[in-house]
Amino acid sequence: MSRATSAGSSADALLAKARDRTARFGVVGLGYVGLPLAMELVRAGYTVLGFDSSARVVDGVNGGTSHVQDVPSRAVAEAVKAGKLSATTDLARLKEPDAISICVPTPLSKTKDPDVSYVLAATESVKKSLRRGQLVVLESTTYPGTTRELLLPAFERTGLTVGEDFFLAFSPERVDPGNSRWNTRNTPKVLGGITPACLRVATALYQPAIETLVPVSSTEAAELVKILENTFRSVNIGLVNEMAIVCDKLGVDVWEVIDAAATKPFGFMKFTPGPGVGGHCIPLDPHYLAWKMRTLNYRTRFIELAGEINAEMPEYWVGRVVDGLNERGKAVRGSRVLVLGVAYKKDIEDIRESPALDVIRLLQQRGADVDYHDPHVPRFREDGVELVSLPLTAETLRRADCVIIVTDHSAIDYALVAREAALIVDTRHVLPRRPEAER
Ligand code: SAJ
C-alpha cells in the first residue's frame, strides 16, 4: 500500500471508528481530569480502557467505585458492568486503544520549574506500543511547545510518520472540580493538532463526547490558550490582593470598593482578595509559561509579579493576626489560633497548594498554638505532622485567642463564629460587612 494510501487509510479508519463508536479509547491518568473524561467517552458510546499507576485506583474503578468527587460510583459501576469501562496498570496494553488521552499531572518542582516527568513517562510508555492508526492527545497543562518538542520526536523515532501513520494533538483540560454547572461534556474544549489530519481525527473522535469543540491552528496555540486562561486569573487575583493591601493602608473597605466596581456592566470582571492562591492550576500554570520564556531570554514580568503578590498574602494575613492579638496585649507566641478552612477554595476537599498551609506554618513559626476546622478536610499531613479538624463548637471558638477564616466553606456556621470568637480575621469577607470583629 502506498504511503499516501496508508496515510489516508489510517485517518479514514479512525474517522470511521469515530462515526460508529467502535474506536477504543485509552485514558492515561484516572484523576480529576481522566476519570470524568473516561466517563464522557463511555457515555458517547466508546469502550474505554483506563490506565493508572495506582493499583488502588485501578481496582476501585474495576470494582465499580469512583475516587473522584464529581464522578458518582454508580456511573462507574454501570459502565464497568456494561463492559464499556475497565482499568489497568499494565502499560503494555497501550497498543490496544485507537485513541489515547494523556491526563497526567504537571506539577512544579521546588524551584518552580515545570516537572514534566509524568508526561515524559507516559510518552515513553505510549511510544513503546505506538502503532499505525493511533491518535494521541495530551491534555495535561504544560508550556507551549511540549507536544511538538517532547512527544512528537519520541513517537517519530518509531519510524512512524505523524499525520499519516499516527496522529498527535493537544487539548487543554478545563475541569473545575466541584463545579455543578460546568463539566467535561458541556465545557467547550480547545483542540490543536500537529497536522491538519491530526486535528481532523482528534475532532472526529472527541465530537461525540464533548458538546463544543474549539479547533485552533497548532498544538502551541492550544497549549497557550490554557496558560492564558489561568494567567488571566492569577494576574487579576494578584491585582485585587494588592488592592486589599492598598485599601488597608488607606483605611478603605476593599470589598465595598470591589462590589461597587462590579456594578459596572461592561469592562470589569470581579475578582476577590483572599489569603493567597491555591489549587493545582492557578499557582502553577503561569510559571510554566514564565519558565519557557526564560529559555527564550524573555522575562514575563506580569506573571512573576502576580505570583509574588499572591504568594505574599499568607504573610500579610498572619500579620493581621499578630496585630489583632497585639492590640489585646497578647503575644502571638503561646496564643491559640483556630484556622477555619484549609481547602484551597470553598466547598471542596482539595488542599493542594492551599494558602491555609502557609498560614498555619507561618503562625507555628511565630510560636502560635494552631488548630483548624474544615468540614471537608477531616485530617491532613503536612511536613510529616498530622493535623485533625476540631469540631466547630462554642467551646472551640471561645478557647481560641484568634480565629482566622481562610476558606469560606458554605457549611461553616458563621453566626456561631461571630457570636463566640474573641477576635476574628476574615480573609474572605464572609462575615457581615464590619471592621474586624471583637468582643
Ligand atoms: N481566588 C481568589 N480570588 C478570586 C478567585 C480565586 O483568591 O477572585 C483563589 C481561590 O481561593 C483559590 C485560587 O485562587 O485558592 C484558585 O481559585 P480558582 O477559582 O481559579 O479555582 P481553581 O484553581 O480550581 O481553578 C480552576 C481552573 N480550571 C482549570 O484550570 C480547568 C480555572 O481555570 C477556573 O477558572 C477556575 O477553576 C474556576 O473558575 O472555578
* Ligand 1 near 341 CB (within 6 A): no
* Ligand 1 near 282 CB (within 6 A): yes
CATH code, residues 3-217: 3.40.50.720
In this prediction, residue 178 carries a pLDDT of: 81
Ligand 1 atom nearest to CA at 285: 30
The full length of the chain comes to 439
Reply yes or no on whether the pLDDT at 170 is more than 90. Answer: yes
Ligand 1 centroid – CA 434 distance (Å) = 26
Average pLDDT of the residues in 151-180? 95
Burial of 43 (0-12, 13-18, 19+ CB in 10 A): middle
* Ligand 1 near 175 CB (within 6 A): yes
Ligand 1 atom nearest to CA at 179: 40
Provide φ and ψ at 100, rounded to 5°: -125, 120
- Tens digits of per-residue pLDDT, 172-201? 999 988 889 999 999 999 999 999 999 999
Residue to mutate (ligand 1; options 281, 342, 407; most atoms within 8 A of CB): 281
Ligand 1 centroid – CA 229 distance (Å) = 10
Identical topology for domains 3-217 and 233-426: yes
Ligand 1 centroid – CA 282 distance (Å) = 6
Hey, what amino acid is at 290?
A
* Ligand 1 near 50 CB (within 6 A): no
Ligand 1 centroid – CA 57 distance (Å) = 26
C-alpha 49 chain-centroid distance: 23
C-alpha to C-alpha distances, 307 to 50, 108, 262, 283, 293, nearest whole angstrom: 35, 13, 24, 7, 16
317-368-357-299 Cα dihedral, nearest 10 degrees = 50
Whole-number Å distance between alpha carbons of 239 and 235: 6
- Tens digits of per-residue pLDDT, 5-34? 555 689 999 999 999 999 999 999 999 999
* Ligand 1 near 155 CB (within 6 A): no
CATH 3.30.460.20 given to domain 233-426:
no
Residue to mutate (ligand 1; options 233, 245, 284, 342; most atoms within 8 A of CB): 233
* Ligand 1 near 174 CB (within 6 A): yes
Count the neighbouring beta carbons within 10 Å of the beta carbon of residue 435: 6
In this prediction, residue 438 carries a pLDDT of: 47
Residue to mutate (ligand 1; options 345, 358, 428; most atoms within 8 A of CB): 345
How far from each other are the two terminal CA atoms of the chain, in whole angstroms?
A: 84
- Tens digits of per-residue pLDDT, 247-263? 999 999 999 999 999 99
Reply yes or no on whether the pLDDT at 332 is more than 90. Answer: yes
Angle at CA of residue 355, ends 352 and 357, nearest 5°: 75
* Ligand 1 near 279 CB (within 6 A): yes
Residues in Cβ contact with 438 at an 8 Å cutoff, skipping those fewer than 6 apart: 324, 328, 422, 423, 424
Whole-number Å distance between alpha carbons of 315 and 323: 12
**Shortest-distance Cα residue to atom 34 of ligand 1:** 176
* Ligand 1 near 36 CB (within 6 A): no
**Shortest-distance Cα residue to atom 37 of ligand 1:** 176
Catalytic positions, written as ranges: 281
Structural domain spans, the chain: 3-217, 233-426
Strand pairing partners for 191?
215
Ligand 1 centroid – CA 314 distance (Å) = 17
Helix (H) or strand (E) holding 260: helix 254-261
Here the cell at position 277 is 492562591
Ligand 1 centroid – CA 151 distance (Å) = 29
- Tens digits of per-residue pLDDT, 295-319? 999 999 999 999 999 999 999 999 9
Ligand 1 centroid – CA 225 distance (Å) = 16
Ligand 1 centroid – CA 164 distance (Å) = 39
At 400, the pLDDT band (50, 70, 90 cuts) reads very high
- Tens digits of per-residue pLDDT, 339-378? 999 999 999 888 999 999 999 999 999 999 999 999 999 9
DSSP states along 55-82: HHHHHHHHTT---STTS-HHHHHHHHHT
Reply yes or no on whether the pLDDT at 111 is more than 90. Answer: no
* Ligand 1 near 258 CB (within 6 A): no
Torsion sign (Cα): 377, 378, 383, 384 = negative
